[in-house]
Amino acid sequence: MKGVVLKSTGSWYQVRSFESGELFNCRIKGKFRVAGIKSTNPIAVGDVVHFHLEDHQEGQGIISAIQDRKNYIVRKSVNLSKQVHIIASNMDQALLVTTLAQPMTSTGFMDRFLSTAEAYSIPTIIVFNKIDLYDEEEMMELEYREAVYSSIGYKVLKTSAMQGIGLEKLKEELKDKTTLLSGHSGVGKSTLVNAVEPNLDLRTGTVSLSHRKGQHTTTFAEMHPLRMGGDVIDTPGIKGFGMVNMKKEEISHFFPEIFALSEQCRFHNCMHLNEPECAVKSALEENKIAPTRYESYLNQLNDYDEQTHYRTSSH
């Protein structure tokens, strides 16, 4: 039989059969490694697997093979620096949920997510949520960010789960697609999806007043079917998220506006730092590239860790 992995709790995997839509609890037998990836989890949410039923065990199966992934996204493993943890696989798109109020999402975090999604070939839609809470200054920041990200080809949505703003557009984007939900804890990912699909009843977290940061509610990634068609993969508020197995010279490839200009640089291996006749630096001086994006590029080059400035509460 063939199915898709909806969730993993360590040694057991919940698999939805393609044939019947039934759910089975499956495990893997023996050593199971996916070639080319050193990961702490051989099977991830979103994986398409082959499995057979265990004798005399109702609703239980054994996974025998995994199909090639069209894409996947990883974070650094919590305990083993050399290894990665695959968050999810086989996504049509990612939904990066951000807010500019309670808690504010930094452009650094957004750009780290976007460049990583580019590296793993996952188209991303940016959502600015809780827009009913924005004051005048935050509305100006929203205009700036919307202009920056739209100009480089990202689709931008503005939503408020509480006020029902932008939910119809969001529904259109989610319908019949497998979507990775991401963003810091407390930005309203679960509330937003519950507003679009009330029967899901995803757990929602509160923003802790002492830290103004979200509380974690999701500990494992989990795939949820949508009645209108499609699935959403809910992820934990991502902490150790960042560039893994990526060469310094490649980072600029995942900033679309920098990559587009780089062929006009004098040197084909230009890093866009202090080299002469750098088209990227010229564009920056002429305000054709957003300074926040260039700053994010530099930070990623230096492997600067945003988490030291923005740490989601894990209490």
pTM of the model: 0.84
Integer Cα distance of 238 and 181 in angstroms: 11
pLDDT of residue 207: 38
Residue 276: cis peptide before it, omega within 30 degrees of 0:
no
State the CB neighbour count (10 A cutoff) for residue 277: 11
pLDDT of residue 208: 34
Integer Cα distance of 217 and 204 in angstroms: 7
Q: Is 2-69 in CATH node 2.60.40.10?
A: no
Q: Which pair of structure tokens corresponds to residue 52?
A: 């057979």
Integer Cα distance of 60 and 23 in angstroms: 9
Among the four given CATH numbers 1.10.10.60, 1.10.40.50, 3.40.50.2000, 2.60.200.30, the one describing domain 248-308: 1.10.40.50
Pairing state between β 231-234 and 222-225: antiparallel
pLDDT of residue 310: 35
Tell me the one-letter amino acid at 117: A
The reply to whether domains 2-69 and 248-308 share a CATH topology is no
DSSP 216: P
Q: Which of 268, 300, 278 is nearest to 115 (CA)?
A: 300
CB 179 within 8 A of CB 126: no
Q: Where are the domains of the chain?
A: 2-69, 86-234, 248-308
Beta bridge partners of 45: 88
Tell me the one-letter amino acid at 187: V
Integer Cα distance of 170 and 13 in angstroms: 29
Integer Cα distance of 211 and 208 in angstroms: 6
- Phi first, then psi: give them for residue 70, nearest 5 degrees: -80, -30
**Exposure letters 250-276 (e unless 16+ CB within 10 A, then b):** ebbebbebbeebbeebeeeebbbeeee
CA angle, 102 as apex, 217 and 304 as ends, to 5°? 80
**Exposure letters 48-76 (e unless 16+ CB within 10 A, then b):** bbebeebeeeeeebbbeebeebebbbbbb
CB 62 within 8 A of CB 28: yes
Expressed in angstroms, the distance from the first to the final Cα of the chain is 41
pLDDT of residue 179: 96
Q: Which of 261, 223, 230 is nearest to 4 (CA)?
A: 223
Place of tokens 């089975």: 24
pLDDT of residue 218: 39
Q: CB burial class (10 A; 0-12, 13-18, 19+) of residue 110?
A: buried
Taking only the tens of pLDDT, the chain with its 315 residues reads 999 999 987 789 999 999 999 999 999 876 665 555 667 778 999 999 999 998 877 889 999 999 999 998 887 665 555 677 788 999 999 999 999 998 899 999 999 999 989 998 999 999 999 999 999 999 999 999 999 999 999 999 999 988 999 999 999 999 999 999 988 888 988 889 889 888 776 655 433 333 334 433 335 789 999 999 999 998 765 554 555 667 888 999 999 999 999 999 999 999 999 999 999 999 999 999 999 999 999 998 987 444 433 333 222
Integer Cα distance of 259 and 121 in angstroms: 15
Residue 198 CB contacts under 8 Å (≥ 6 apart), including other chains: none
| Fold category of 86-234 in CATH | Rossmann fold (3.40.50)
Q: What share of the chain is helix, strand, coil (3-state, %, to 5)?
A: 25, 25, 45
CB 206 within 8 A of CB 172: no
